[in-house]
């Protein structure tokens, strides 16, 4: 069963804590992306990766970090430097230009 999985579905972060959101795909796609969505808003690009061991900052990369050690995996770390992390985080992968999204992770700050 091919697709993109994200875990966990809900994540709670304490002040000053780093948290890592998982994104895995078995679609054999080269490119992967992380977006942030705030309530009633569009999607804003955090980071993207076109190939293993390479990634680029998107429009709102500050306070976030990523790695791309394997083609299938593109984890996102929300660091303590991100002062307003509460949002819905969506991971996507693409072949050519069409993007396929995972189910998302909702991050809440306690």
Q: What is the largest CA-CA distance in the chain?
A: 39
CA-nearest of 16, 1, 19, 32 to 87 is: 19
Dist CA 100 CA 15 (whole Å)? 32
With contacts defined by CB under 8 A, name the span among 19-27, 44-52, 62-70, 72-80 that binds other proteins: 44-52
Name which position in 13, 58, 60, 61 contacts other proteins (CB under 8 A): 58
Distance of CA 17 to the CA centre of its chain: 17
φ, ψ for residue 73, nearest 5 deg: -125, 140
With contacts defined by CB under 8 A, name the span among 16-24, 60-68, 71-79, 92-100 that binds other proteins: 92-100
By CB under 8 A, residue 43 contacts other proteins: yes
Beta-carbon-side half-sphere exposure of residue 77 (alpha carbons within 13 Å): 10
Cβ of residue 94: shortest distance to other proteins, in angstroms?
6
As given in the structure block, the two tokens for residue 94 are 């693409």
- Cβ nearer to other proteins, comparing 18 with 28: 28
With contacts defined by CB under 8 A, name the span among 20-28, 35-43, 62-70, 72-80 that binds other proteins: 35-43
Residues forming the site for other proteins (CB under 8 A): 31, 33, 35, 40-45, 48, 50, 56, 58-59, 90, 94, 96-104
């Amino acid at each position: 069963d091919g697709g993109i999985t994200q875990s966990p579905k809900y994540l709670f972060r304490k002040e000053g804590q780093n948290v890592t959101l998982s994104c895995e795909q078995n679609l054999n796609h080269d490119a992967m992306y992380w977006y942030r969505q705030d309530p009633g808003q569009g999607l804003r690009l955090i980071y993207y990766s076109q190939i293993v061991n390479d990634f680029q900052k998107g429009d709102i990369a500050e306070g976030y970090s990523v790695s791309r050690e394997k083609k299938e995996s593109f984890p996102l770390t929300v660091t303590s430097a991100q002062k307003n992390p509460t949002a819905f985080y969506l991971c996507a992968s693409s072949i050519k230009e069409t993007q396929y999204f995972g189910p998302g992770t909702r991050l809440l700050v306690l």
